[in-house]
Amino acid sequence: MSAPALRISHLRCEYLVAPLGIDERAPRLSWTIASDRRGARQEAYRVRVASAAEKLAQDEGDLWDSGRVESNQTTHVVYEGRPLQSRDMCHWCVEVWDEAGLTARSAPSVWTMGLLEKTDWSAFWITADPKIIERDPEAITPTLTEPGTPALFRKEFAVPGPVKRATLYASARGLFRLRLRGRRVGEDVFTPEWTDYDKRIHYRTYDVTGLVGRGRNVIAAMLGDGWWSGYVGWQETRARYGSLENSLLVQLEVELVDGERLTLGTDGTWTCNTGPILSSDFMMGEIYDARRERAGWDRTDFAGKDWLPVREAASPAVPLVAQRSEPVRVVETILPVSPNEVRPGVFIYDLGQNISGWVRLRFSTMPAGTRVQLRHGERLNPDGTLYTENLRRAKATDVYICKGGGEEVWEPRFTFHGFQYIELTGLPSAPGRNVVTGCVVRSATSLAGHFECSHAGVNRLWLNGLWSQRGNFLTVPTDCPQRDERLGWMGDAQVFLRTASYNMDVAAFFTKWMIDVEDAQTADGIFPDVAPRLREGKNFIGLDGLGGAAGWADAGIIVPWTLWRVYGDRRIIERHWKAMTAWLDWIERHNPDGLRTRELGNNYGDWLCIPSDTTFRTHSPMKNLLATAYWAGDAMKMARMARELGREAEAKRFQAMFGKVRAAFQKEFLREDGRLTVETQTAYLLALAFNLVPENVRDRVAEHLVENIKALDWHLSTGFIGISHLNPQLTFAGHADIAYRLLLRDDYPSWLYPVMHGATTIWERWNGWTEKEGFFNPQMNSFNHYSLGSVGEWLFRHVAGIELDPEVSGFQRFVLRPFIGPGLDFVRASYHTLHGEIRSDWKRAGRQLTWTVHVPTNTTAHVFVPSDPETGVTEGGVPIEKVDGLRVAGRDGRFLLCEAPAGTYTFASSWQD
Ligand code: BGC
């Protein structure tokens, strides 16, 4: 059967597939259309939203029927139907007409509304009675510092008739795992996810219709520490949000077939007890004694006589909100090869990949009481033993005590580690096969891009960036997953964001995180350096004071800007407009002369550049340059966003601010000959990237950048801030060949140096490990930090050539412009946008260049075909000028420019490096 001529797929609500329990009252809908016909586009659409699947099936849009709308819009279509209420089921589909008169209808999708009002919650917050521990002192193990002891909770209830629909809403101060009649509720882990608990707390919604039944039921919960009360950041500080007491909120709503409704919520009638988890903490690890499992606790017919009533806990003063991003899950598993016994009884496993997550253990028979210990590390010592010094005070140790008597399968519930190697000890004999499985845990964002080329090292480099993203995008974008830190560092996030958006669909993930960022802004407008913000622990000064640093706090502008540019999302800039304005007001108030020299305390400069630029508490001319450049960059972005929102007066104001800061920058830092007064690669890169030098000296500025690189024998020397601009700016300035040269270097310092030495993720520093010096000082030496991997952006934008249109946001119109450079013979790249998949594959044989591209249906591309001037270009074997639909628009140096409507095209041209 041939594929239908017009197909609709990827129905999304607020970027998510069929989300449950949202609290967005005007959700935005998106879909993708595909046709095999060149030039196909959407002429009109009609969205129907119905309160029941049957109604939708009969074409009844009782919640909303948009009617036929003449438009090519397929993204961010705002729901404009009946006001949405708590618990509403919204079944929807879209019907589309294309320009050839064909029509298609999507399969139905759904979203549901969560609990929108405070009064929707009838459940009470509960906490375990501390007596459960007093009478069971063995519930706490002395091996970890002040461990958290996850408690168990349960409640039996009866359902009088057959169930039509059952929905469960749950939240916690801490982390919950829920079970209904012995079965797990959902696959999410680490719920609810991290927010500033002083500002808002997430709840999650689950459809549990299949888990609740007529008759007796039981709901059971396990409650752990997580971000609420466990260790977060460094300095061994727990209870960042002021309390060590975990508490739980569960509300189960059951609708019976006969229409009756019953609601069961946490309250004083629930009971609690200690359980098998003796301690659990993100940094420290988990200790689980399987002999202490309370068999049957999550089922009916469980005696439970010694369980104590729970206590009610105070309700939080802050709102409960629905989570608007993909949940954290185990997304894949990895089986290691056989272990090495490095000392008697000490077995080291290598997963072959540095990951974030945990180990699943499986034993067939083990004597009861066997204490199996797992330690986790990213690297090995020269003698093959586990290297853990760089974890600082994160113990990253899990212990499983066997119950004996048959197969045992276990994985921890409330901890995760960053590791490639596992040390297994405590077994009475050598481990059998499949004892250890690595579980990869992360926010379950879907893959968007793929990059592959003729150079194995570059392929691994791209993959290392992707793996560092997998390892660090865990509810918020963190710096690293292994040591006692794991914070939402803003600088790291902003330099990597464009790369991240090519690798995965991160729209919902960053939409959520921007709320954390705004929650952390001070009353007078200062954005933080880390988000979510942390409270100051008693013995610790610092984290809460971190704010306003150049390149870090500026993520408060750069993230909404990038989400708007990449996803065409205007709402994100509208929603954060005030916050962004407040930040620029603050900078302006404190730096009236246009030079941003008055920072709050920290200025990290071009963090981890070579040689390093003093410490983060001191200042230097380079740091002033960097801060001023970022200010100008912010102002320019604000001016453009203001225009997008129709805020003309503000557009003028920010344009003027840009002009003033640019002038101050030139006066302070630019010499007449195009040299900067501070001569680092990053100084030149920022001057170019943020348009800070007059047009007629740009070329000279770029020449000085090239001289700098040459003086280092063609090596890079930037830190976090400069690195994302390095190859793009070289390319824009006409030096793509040098960008390729830097890319393909494999001696220190270079991107490929770690790759050559076995890296499977991006390292925090260029010199994390060198042949000469071995491991760098373990005080700050992570092997899974994505910032220096931001070259991924250049691979997609300039090597594959899949680039945003300079004027139009969101890839409905985009640019295809690969810069072919020495050292690569082919590139194959794809990128799944909200409008469908863009592809760019080029390969060359001698001077013959063949380039196949795909322009998704309902989009158009400005195509720059690399081709030597005076030589012909064909498409599908036909001279390009004669190809129907393609409009040749002229030449731009070594590119022939044409306009391409949707379709797949194969260009052939002549090219020589
Ligand atoms: C983190 C970073 C962060 C930096 C701020 C480090 O401890 O790991 O990646 O950006 O501090 O300077």
CA of 741 to the centre of ligand 1 (A): 29
| Ligand 1 atom at minimum distance from 492 CA | 10
Core vs surface per residue 249-268: b (16+ CB within 10 A) or e: bbbbbbbbeeeeebebbbbe
How far apart CA 624 and CA 665 sit, in angstroms, is 10
Q: Which of 479, 483, 494, 761 to mutate to test the pocket of ligand 1 (most atoms within 8 A of CB)?
A: 479
Atom 1 in ligand 1: which residue has the minimum CA distance? Answer: 479
Whether 234 is in the pocket of ligand 1, judged by its Cβ within 6 Å, is no
Instruction: Find out whether the beta carbon of 528 lies less than 6 Å from any atom of ligand 1.
Output: no
Q: Is 79 in the pocket of ligand 1 (CB under 6 A)?
A: no
CB 121 within 8 A of CB 87: no
Distance 758 CA to ligand 1 centre (A): 24
Q: Which residue CA neighbors atom 3 of ligand 1 most closely?
A: 489
Residue 479 CA to ligand 1 center (angstroms) comes to 7
Residue 276 CA, ligand 1 centroid: distance in Å: 36
How confident is the prediction for the chain on average, in pLDDT?
95
C-alpha 54 – ligand 1 centre gap (Å): 53
Ligand 1 centroid, distance to 757 Cα (angstroms)? 24
What is the model's pLDDT at position 543? 58
Cβ 612 vs Cβ 624: under 8 Å: no
Kindly tell me the burial class for residue 590, based on how many C-beta atoms sit within 10 Å of its own C-beta (0-12, 13-18, 19 or more).
Answer: middle
Instruction: Give the residue carrying structure tokens 């509208």.
Output: 574
Round to whole Å and give the CA distance between 883 and 901.
12
Long-range contacts of 344-347 (CB under 8 A, 24+ apart): 345/425, 345/426, 345/427, 346/385, 346/423, 346/424, 346/425, 347/423, 347/424, 347/425, 347/427, 347/430, 347/431
Report which protein residue has its CA nearest ligand 1's atom 9. Answer: 479
Q: Distance, CA 716 to ligand 1 centroid (Å)?
A: 20
- Contact (CB, 8 A) for 789 and 762: yes
Could you identify the atom of ligand 1 that is nearest to the CA of residue 602? 12
Q: Is 613 in the pocket of ligand 1 (CB under 6 A)?
A: no
Q: Answer yes or no: is the C-beta of 479 below 6 A from any ligand 1 atom.
A: yes
* Residue 65 DSSP label: E
Can you point out the beta strands (E) in 310-416? 311-312, 320-322, 328-334, 340-343, 346-363, 371-377, 379-380, 386-387, 397-401, 408-410
| 278's tokens | 């003796």
Which ligand 1 atom is the nearest neighbour of the CA of 552? 10
Would the pLDDT of 299 be above 50? yes
- Among protein residues, the one whose CA lies closest to atom 8 of ligand 1: 479
C-beta 485 within 6 A of ligand 1 = yes
Q: Which two tokens mark 825?
A: 């013979």
Question: What's the pLDDT score for residue 599?
Answer: 62
Taking the centre of ligand 1 as the mean of its atom positions, its distance from the CA of residue 51, in whole angstroms, is 48
Atom 4 (ligand 1) nearest CA: 489
Q: Which of 37, 84, 82 is nearest to 61 (CA)?
A: 82
Closest by Cα among 141, 173, 134 to 292: 141
Question: pLDDT-based confidence at 376, cuts 50/70/90?
Answer: very high
Distance from residue 238's CA to the centre of ligand 1 (Å): 20
Mean predicted confidence (pLDDT) in 321-332:
98
**pLDDT for the residue numbered 867:** 97
**CB 145: neighbour CB atoms within 10 A?**
14
* Residue 378 known to be catalytic: no
pLDDT at 859 over 90: yes
Mean pLDDT of 167-180: 98
Buried b (16+ CB within 10 A) or exposed e, 188-226: bbbbbbbbbbbbbbbbbbbbbeebbeeeebbbbbbbbbb
List 253, 485, 588, 668, catalytic entry: 485
CA dihedral (155, 159, 165, 167) in degrees, to 10, reads -10
**pLDDT at residue 267 tops 70:** yes
**Is pLDDT above 50 for 144?**
no
Q: CA 670, CA 697: separation in Å to the nearest integer?
A: 10
Find the mean pLDDT for residues 126-137.
90
Ligand 1 contact, 607 CB (< 6 A) = yes
Closest CA to 161 of 280, 283, 255: 255
Name the residue at shortest CA distance from atom 12 of ligand 1: 604
| Ligand 1 neighbour 616 (Cβ under 6 A) | yes
Q: Answer whether residue 148 shows pLDDT above 80.
A: no
Ligand 1, residue 787: give the atom nearest the CA.
9
**Which pLDDT tens digit goes with each residue over 95-131?**
999 999 999 999 999 999 999 999 999 999 999 998 9
pLDDT digits (tens, 9 = 90+) for 443-482: 999 999 999 999 999 999 999 999 999 999 999 999 999 9
Query: pLDDT of 408-422, one tens digit each?
Result: 999 999 999 999 999
Residues pairing with 469 in the sheet? none
Is ligand 1 within 6 A of the CB of residue 740? no
* Atom 2 of ligand 1: nearest residue by CA position: 479
Kindly report, residue by residue over 521-568, the tens digit of the pLDDT. 999 999 999 999 886 544 333 455 678 999 999 999 999 999 999 999
User: What is the structure's pLDDT at 143?
Assistant: 46
Instruction: Provide the pLDDT for residue 370.
Output: 97
Q: Is 156 annotated as catalytic?
A: no
> pLDDT digit string (tens) for 816-854?
999 999 999 999 999 999 999 999 999 999 999 999 999
With a pLDDT cut of 70, the percent of the chain lying above it is 96
State residue 549 phi and psi, 5-degree precision. -75, 140
Q: Beta-strand (E) ranges in 113-161?
A: 126-127, 151-159
Residue 539, pLDDT score = 38
* Alpha helix positions (H), 568-647: 570-575, 577-590, 621-644
Residue 146: per-residue pLDDT: 55
Could you identify the atom of ligand 1 that is nearest to the CA of residue 785?
Answer: 9
**Nearest CA residue ID for atom 5, ligand 1:** 604
- Rounded-to-integer distance, Cα 618 and Cα 614, Å: 7
Share of residues in the chain with pLDDT > 90 (%): 91
Kindly state the average pLDDT of the residues 786-807. Answer: 98
Q: 43, 378, 599, 764: which one is catalytic?
A: 764
3-state helix, strand, coil in the chain (%, to 5): 25, 30, 45
Q: Give the position, in ligand 1's atom list, of the atom nearest the Cα of 604.
A: 12
Name the residue with the closest Cα to ligand 1, atom 11. 489
For a mutational test of ligand 1's pocket, the pick from 554, 607, 724, i.e. the residue with the most ligand atoms closer than 8 A to its C-beta, is 607
Per the listing, tokens 């004694």 go with 289
- Tell the residue number behind the tokens 């960042």, with chain if given: 240
Q: Which amino acid is residue 349, in one-letter code?
A: Y
Site to probe by mutation for ligand 1, drawn from 468, 483, 486, 492 as the one with most ligand atoms within 8 Å of Cβ, is 492
Per-residue model confidence as pLDDT tens digits over 45-78: 999 999 999 999 999 999 999 999 999 999 999 9
**8 A C-beta contact, residue 44 and residue 96:** yes
Cα 868 to Cα 840: distance, rounded to the nearest angstrom: 19
pLDDT in tens, 327-354: 999 999 999 988 999 999 999 999 999 9
Q: What is the mean pLDDT of residues 658-674?
A: 97
Q: What's the pLDDT at 618?
A: 72
Q: Exposure string (b/e) for 12-24, b if CB count within 10 Å is 16 or more?
A: bbbbbeebbbbbb
Query: pLDDT tens digits for 714-767?
Result: 999 999 999 999 999 999 999 999 999 999 999 999 999 999 999 999 999 999
Is the CB of 492 within 6 Å of ligand 1? Answer: yes
Cα 490 to ligand 1 centroid, rounded to whole Å: 9
